[in-house]
Amino acid sequence: MDNDVTAKSYTLRTKEGAWLGQIVLTSDGMFASVTDWGNFSYSWRAFGESFEDFILRIRPDYFGGKLVCGISYIVRLTKAEESKVYRFAETILPALQEAILSDRAS
């Protein structure tokens, strides 16, 4: 990977057009989010050629697990808090994957 890191911002909306959140993906594997479902971030350093392609391949359970892992270094999570992270993953990841595909189609 070269030293020129680029970033792409995605504004996510529900099918009805309501704002879900803003996601930033960087070419070196960082995910950052500000959403109605919570604000989370995580960095992957081994993902293959394209970070966006990697995001398209992952599933909400894997994605949620990484986010839980990332914040558990900072705070101790209860099961209720952990379940909120997985609900975030189940809501935000599919919307992000759809936004990436839509962006590529345009």
pTM above 0.85, yes or no: no
Q: Residue 98 has what pLDDT?
A: 95
Q: Mean pLDDT by 10-residue block, N- to C-terminus, for the chain (106 residues)?
A: 86 94 97 91 92 96 86 56 80 94 93
The backbone torsions φ and ψ at residue 12, rounded to the nearest 5 degrees and listed phi first, read -100, 140
Strand pairing category for 19-26 and 30-35: antiparallel
Give CA–CA dist 38/87, Å, rounded: 10
- Beta-bridge mates of residue 5: none
User: Looking at residue 91, what DSSP letter applies?
Assistant: H
Q: Is 71 helix (H, G, I), strand (E, B) or coil?
A: helix
